Structure 1
């Protein structure tokens, strides 16, 4: 029987293909009932944990009266009596009428904590600024209405009476502040525009059925690719990517990808059509990939023609092309989701280690939150909160980069650390990678590493870094260095050599910033973020200095089919076990010749297949180990807990469980996140900012396709997901954003205006030259002016790409070089392009910056010399325009192409 895909709904589990129809239906009904009860019980249990707190210390609370509360609210800290103290009322019977305390999470005022530490029975306190009850022993905020055991009726009635008679925001001082738009951030209600009709959101399930009656004999995904003339390198890359579930699943389930990108996704749509044909139910023997190959060749000229190309280079260019078309901007406020997710993960891990397994606190707000509810001065906390709000408002829309499904799948991060052996100063840099290029160590290199083993350890002994010492101890003592005792080379050996610390000495000394000199140092490289799909490139080709060919290294490298452990090379707390999805092998003696073949595991039946262009052959796993791997694709393995959670959620999203959305019971969740949830092993926190703006309303750039970008789910399922994955924000209704819509329209209008004015100046200059008025142009008197190619390309991208941000100030300093006589020369490396001064002045008027640079092989003029020269040219141009204007006025009013623009 064919092994079923993990992405199938659990409601299909356990069905026998040969079962009778009636028996089959009865089994389905029984299983559905059992699984319905299971998911309902799980969600109910989760909701109960979220909604109910369990603090038995509330039994020690004394009798609180309105008078004692008013007295404590106006009093200062009993211990230190600061001018603006935190108002925390101890609810112990002996303190409830006399003790008011201050406290803060990081500040000096911590008398609330000290009071509890001196007598643990005084553990329950009331924050008089927000009426929240916090227990120090349970380390949780007590839900006043849902606690076990319940709070006394006297206390609840007192708190209710206080809230009705003295609301926390009822003072005139607070209202005055609320009316000042400078001191506080804009309220979300002021940003809401027109409400989006809920019926415009598609109500569809997200359980992907991939099997049919023929899967046992011939599963999908076994269609070959025709060779279009030395295109085996291209076919091997496509087949390998097609068998990476996170990659292929994104393209299999979508028709037009314009809904996921503002740009025109021509290559991405072609890729989607190609992947869908490879996984079509028609099961064609082979298809032609020529359309996709043409799209890549249009963007990268080296792939034009019929010459053999490198598969790894093609893979990089292809992924970069898809990333460019499918990318969207990522802003500063989206980082808060990832940060909170990692904080919650760390807190849950510490909570599990501590042994407190009686309840889950993730769903409740802590009494020590970061939003002004800490035991601190209420005035200080409001001031701090306001300043933080203003800072967040200022940096919320700061662009930090671009993200896409490609970067979500393949992007990892390396952290390089260089430590000076003289001053012990450490400098750290981070670098994003999409594949790790690993060298194959030679026998001579391995012998050298082995001989320097003791010397290397002794030289590191002067380093006072415990982590570095412990890592080196593992590196030189334990597992991966199997080649010290054997000639066989494994993939783990290549990884160990790649991550071996480098001694920077001799000609490789580095410039220490602290010492301001060249120093000996140690460079270590670690993985700080593991990708979902780890792509490993084995460097099998070496350039031959005597010729133009690339010599191939045919050394055998053993690689694991499953269980590749990356934890020894990573500082990440994430799951680090990887299983092989596919790999590319090269047969031949050099990069310019030979043949590329792809080997991949079919995700439906779990068998391995050889994709040799149009021929697809089933293989035994033992045969795979004889192949020379060139590029390998490993997917991260999901934990057992994650798989169980996915099965529950898939069942809740199955067709029979999807109901019509209601504003009171449903909320919106990102469709992209749900798609990744299907195939990613580590999906990360929910991010609804892919269709929401910073104000929590519709993102203008994606509002046209909102029906495909978000999905309605039940609130209980949302709580179930956020309890495990974190993220947000939660939204029940979708409104157009008044603020962001206006900014979006202004930005698009600015792009259009700048481009039109730039073209208008060009047309005017061309008209003057045609009419013999070239003496009115700077080019008649001066050599061409130069501008930074990178900056000008950024501006071109800005005015043509709806998602692009402004390029910033003009920076021409990067195209200049200073000699020993402090003279500036124009760099001849192609980093600059000529631009008429009229056009440069137009751009400088908008963006500022500079300086102005003349194209000249000699040294650039000084600032004063250039200014004097431009003054002379400006005088000549002004005089010429004056003469031409006078001549035109004397003549009959005959219009020419230059008369209307002469004044410009």
Structure 2
């Protein structure tokens, strides 16, 4: 099916001025998903849903429309396609959505709760989930206003980077939950288990604290091991670091698997880059490599399509053809060689320049592929993903729609 084309987001008209609606603050606290509906009483009245009757999408899916699911487009406020495309991927990341709705149900009714980016996001997800209609258009006004208030980078109407927004969002959510935990630990009325959807980091009697595990950590965090082997004494030095996504260099006419293998390939440290070996007490040649020690439940891969060119003194977009599979096996790149993932979302950049263009998302939901283009949601086909691989020849013009951020969910096993 042909995809609705929306090109330069910078050309979209700016939104009319409007004040953000305040969240109601009921007196009683909810508990778990069973209280979601009662906690959100009257929430639907704040929605701006366009159209009436049965939508084209409902007709297209027919009896295959998933029971209880909602497919809503998001209004563009001038240049917010970068935000909308990431939000659609997050909403259709079921583990993240379920945990966020539990957070919403638990804290929506607390009297001393304050508006922040997390509560705005939880409200938005709840509005979609509790919608009376199965399809429509939602205006995420409060969320966008909060983003712009929190980060000046997103205040202008210039074209923004979806990956930069993703990084800002997940890190800000973690900061909010960590602050919630510190506040809860200082309150005798709040148990640590009530923070961060069941996460705790404080132990009784002043014992040593455990790292806080939030809904972001449970869904997206993985652990990388950096191993450096001294070629003189064969001593291996290992250091772990966490990650929420992998930013991968892309190569022309390649595949995601080959780009990942290059990312995890062994690097030789010699010359000016020699490694200081503690055992040898001197600089030595060494081999350095990375490996996934703990694979995340949802693996987010950022294809580095925007490259700074010194001769041009600016960034350029790499339209390289990179084939990404529907199912991804990590093999030797992970300590769990049987680790396998399934693709469920692709954030696509439309345009030939990093400074202009548009973002859309392709989402797999209940076995169906859908195209989310701001306020437009259409049924798509699995074969459509091939059109976002890139061009086999640089500077050949034509298609400028390229996969930019890939979301893979782990199949079975432990994460």
Q: Distance in 1 between matches of 2:128 and 2:135?
A: 8
Q: Is the 1:221–1:602 contact (alpha carbons within 8 Å) kept by the matching residues of 2?
A: no
Q: What are the residue-to-residue correspondences of 1:172-187 with 2, within 5 Å?
A: none
> Could you list the per-position Cα deviations for residues 332-360 of structure 1 after superposition, in whole angstroms to 9, with x for gaps in the alignment?
xx9xxxxxxxxxxxxxxxxxxxxxxxxxx
Partner of 2:42: none
Change (3 A) 1:393 1:239: closer
In structure 1, distance between residues paired with 2:408 and 2:32: 34
Q: CA deviation at 1:288?
A: 1.4
Per the alignment, residue 246 of structure 1 pairs with 95
User: 1:277 matched to which residue of 2?
Assistant: 127
The residue that corresponds to 1:581 in the other structure is 344
Contact 1:440 1:494 in 2 (8 A): yes
Contact 2:82 2:358 in 1 (8 A): yes
Give 2:160's aligned residue.
309
The answer to whether the Cα contact below 8 Å between 1:600 and 1:609 also exists between their aligned partners in 2 is yes
Is the partner of 2:290 in helix, strand or coil?
A: strand
Inter-CA distance 308–260: structure 2 relative to 1 (3 Å threshold): farther
CA distance in 1, matches of 2:161, 2:110: 30
Q: 1:223 aligns with which of 59, 72, 75?
A: 72
Q: Distance in 1 between matches of 2:362 and 2:32?
A: 38
Per-residue deviation, residues 653-680 of structure 1 (Å, max 9, x unmatched): xxxxxxxxxxxxxxxxxxxxxxxxxxxx
1:518 aligns with 2:283: yes
Superposition pairs of residues 459-498 of structure 1, within 5 angstroms: 488-498=253-263
Match of 1:607 in 2: 368
CA deviation vs aligned residue, 1:540-596 (integer Å, no higher than 9, x gap)? 1101213443111111111112x31123211148x6111111110111122211111
d(CA) in 2 for partners of 1:285, 1:412: 35
Which of 606, 617, 622 matches 2:383? 622
Paired with 1:528 and 1:554, the residues of 2 have a C-alpha distance of 32
Say if 2:82 and 2:162, in contact at 8 Å, map to a contact too.
yes
Higher strand share: 2
Say what the alpha-carbon RMSD is for the aligned residues: 3.2
1:571 and 1:261 map into 2 onto residues whose CA distance is 46
Q: Would you say 1:567 and 2:319 are equivalent positions?
A: no
Give 1:217 deviation, angstroms. 5.7
* Distance change >3 Å, CA 246–CA 522, structure 1 → 2: same
Residue of structure 1 in register with 2:236 after alignment:
426
SS in 1 for 2:296: coil
Alpha-carbon displacement from aligned partner over 1:357-378 (angstroms, at most 9, x marks no partner): xxxxxxxxxxxxxxxxxxxxxx
1:292 paired residue among 143, 153, 158: 143
Task: Give the equivalent residue in structure 1 for 2:359.
Answer: 596
The partner residue of 2:265 within 500, 508, 521 is 500
Q: Aligned runs of 1:835-850 on 2, under 5 Å?
A: none
**In 2: Cα distance, 1:201 partner to 1:264 partner:** 16
Q: Measure the CA separation in 2 of the matches of 1:633 and 1:528.
A: 19
1:266 aligns with 2:27: no
| Residues 1:412 and 2:222 are matched in the alignment | yes
Distance 1:201 1:588 in 2: 45
Structure 1 555/412 Cα, relative in aligned 2: closer, same or farther at 3 Å?
same
CA shift for structure 1 position 290: 2.3
Equivalent residue for 2:316? 551
What is the match of residue 799 of structure 1?
none
Task: Report the alpha carbon displacement of residue 234 of structure 1 after superposing the two structures with TM.
Answer: 0.8
- What secondary structure, in the 3-state scheme, does the structure 1 residue paired with 2:71 have? coil
* Distance across 1 between alignment mates of 2:244 and 2:109: 25
Partner residue of 1:441? Answer: 251
Aligned CA distance change for structure 1 residues 204 and 405 (closer, same or farther; 3 Å): closer
Check the 8 A contact 1:441/1:497 in 2, yes or no. no
Residues 202 and 525 of structure 1, relative CA distance in 2, 3 Å threshold: closer
From the CA coordinates, give the structure whose radius of gyration is larger: 1
1:160 match: none
Change (3 A) 1:593 1:204: closer
Separation (CA, whole Å) in 2 of partners of 1:637 and 1:559: 17
**Residues 262, 535 of structure 1: CA spacing in aligned structure 2 closer, same or farther, 3 A cutoff?**
farther
1:313 Cα offset (Å):
0.6
State the match for 1:765 in structure 2: none
Give secondary structure in 1 for the equivalent of 2:211.
strand
Q: Distance in 2 between matches of 1:614 and 1:272?
A: 20
The C-alpha deviation readout for 1:58-101, integer Å capped at 9, x for no partner, is xxxxxxxxxxxxxxxxxxxxxxxxxxxxxxxxxxxxxxxxxxxx
Q: Give yes or no for contact 1:549–1:592 (8 Å, CA) kept in 2.
A: no
Structure 1 position 393, deviation (Å): 8.8
Q: What is the rounded CA distance, in whole Å, between the counterparts of 1:625 and 1:203 in structure 2?
A: 40
Give yes or no for contact 2:31–2:105 (8 Å, CA) kept in 1. no
Aligned partners of 2:117 and 2:143 also within 8 Å: yes
For residues 471-505 of structure 1, give each alpha carbon's deviation from its aligned partner in whole angstroms, at most 9, with x where no partner exists.
xxxxxxxxxxxxxxxxx411111110001010011
Residue 635 (structure 1) aligned with residue 409 (structure 2): yes
In 2, are the aligned partners of 1:326 and 1:405 still within 8 Å (CA)? no
* 1:402 maps onto 2:217 in alignment: no
1 or 2, which has the higher helix percentage?
1
- Alignment deviations for residues 426-458 of structure 1 (CA, whole Å, 9 cap, x no partner): 21111100000111135xxxxxxxxxxxxxxxx
CA contact (8 A) 1:413 1:432 kept: yes
If asked which structure has higher relative contact order (CA below 8 Å, sep 6+), I would say 2
**2:8 corresponds to 1:234:** no
Q: Partners of 1:260 and 1:567 in 2: how far apart?
A: 46
Could you tell me how far 1:285 is from its partner in structure 2?
A: 2.3
Q: CA deviation at 1:312?
A: 0.4
- Measured at CA, do residues 517 and 293 of structure 1 come closer, stay the same or move farther in structure 2, by a change above 3 Å? same
Change (3 A) 1:515 1:265: farther
How many angstroms does 1:515 deviate by?
Answer: 2.2
Q: CA deviation at 1:263?
A: 7.2
- For 2:32 and 2:216, the matched residues in 1 are separated by 27
For residues 239 and 317 of structure 2, the distance between their equivalents in structure 1, rounded to whole angstroms, comes to 33
Q: Find the aligned partners of 1:533 and 1:399 in 2 and give their Cα distance.
A: 26
What are the superposed Cα offsets for residues 756-785 of structure 1, whole Å, 9 maximum, x if unpaired? xxxxxxxxxxxxxxxxxxxxxxxxxxxxxx
